[in-house]
Amino acid sequence: MRRVQAELILVFEKFGTPHRIRVDNGRPFGDPTLELVPPLALWLIGMGIDVVWNRPSRPQDNGKVERCQGVMGRWTEYQKCTDAAQLQQRLYREADFYNRHFPIRRQGGKTRLELHPGLTHTGRKWNPDSFSLGRVLAFLAQGYWERKITSSGQIDMYSRRIYIGAAYKHQKVSLKLDPATNEWRIFLADGQCIKTQATPFSHQSIWKLEFS
């Protein structure tokens, strides 16, 4: 994930910080089990970028991108590339042509760049200091996260074991984040709060993607 993060930073430095990113529901940005929000997505949210997840098995949610990938696949003739570096160069070349020179007939022959001048830069300069832990906590606080207590009285959350108590084994609990204290509040099915637990979230841990 650190490598993906580093590549994203390079893109943001060149084209600006996006307002929104649409991603698949699989790793590293999503979780098909819906049991947590992956660290990389939390980092994007902390940077002020809205993360929009496609629904599972719904490629039509991202139809324009799917079609664009098909076009780029044909134009780059990726089967003839000898390595990833050559493919990347072809992608740069064809993307530049597609945006700057390819006429869109239904738009009177204008190019995508003529129609959307913001393609070259989002207008939001990349600033790593704009990260906000508060944005992350506020986002997570919107939902509940369900877990089942093991026979030893524990649950797992972001690869950390939280001891609830053997008396509660095999019961389901819900975790709710309190953004004011940065703690999990853990509830039984009847709504009783039985435990609070510090979260692993901090400015440093999210930037380093180190809590999972």
Q: Are residues 184 and 92 in the same domain?
A: no
Last residue of a domain, one of 78, 95, 128: 128
Q: Are residues 93 and 26 in the same domain?
A: yes
Q: Are residues 122 and 104 in the same domain?
A: yes
Q: Are residues 83 and 169 in the same domain?
A: no
H/E element holding 198?
strand 193-198
pLDDT value, residue 18: 95
Q: Are residues 158 and 69 in the same domain?
A: no
CATH number for the domain harbouring residue 198: 2.30.30
Q: Are residues 23 and 117 in the same domain?
A: yes
pLDDT value, residue 29: 87
Domain interval for residue 182: 132-208
Last residue of a domain, one of 128, 150, 170: 128
pLDDT value, residue 26: 83
Q: Are residues 68 and 113 in the same domain?
A: yes
- Cis peptide bond prior to 179, omega within 30° of 0: no
The C-alpha angle with vertex 11 and arms to 209 and 33, in degrees rounded to 5, equals 40
The domain tally of the chain equals 2
Amino acid at 22: R
pLDDT value, residue 210: 86
Whole-number Å distance between alpha carbons of 93 and 98: 9
Q: Are residues 54 and 89 in the same domain?
A: yes
pLDDT value, residue 200: 94
Last residue of a domain, one of 128, 152, 178: 128
Residues in the chain: 212
Q: Are residues 92 and 13 in the same domain?
A: yes
pTM summary value: 0.86
For the record, the structure tokens of 43 come out as 């980092």
pLDDT value, residue 212: 54
* Residues above pLDDT 70, as percent of the chain: 99
CATH number for the domain harbouring residue 71: 3.30.420.10
Whole-number Å distance between alpha carbons of 177 and 85: 43
Q: What is the mean pLDDT of each run of 10 residues along the chain (212 residues)?
A: 93 94 87 86 97 79 77 87 92 90 92 89 94 97 95 93 95 97 96 95 94 64
Supply the mean pLDDT for the chain: 91
Q: Are residues 28 and 123 in the same domain?
A: yes
Q: Are residues 190 and 202 in the same domain?
A: yes
161 forms bridges with which residues in the sheet? 156
Whole-number Å distance between alpha carbons of 162 and 155: 5
Q: Are residues 34 and 102 in the same domain?
A: yes
pLDDT tens digits for range 39-75:
999 999 999 999 999 877 676 777 777 788 888 888 8
Whole-number Å distance between alpha carbons of 42 and 190: 30
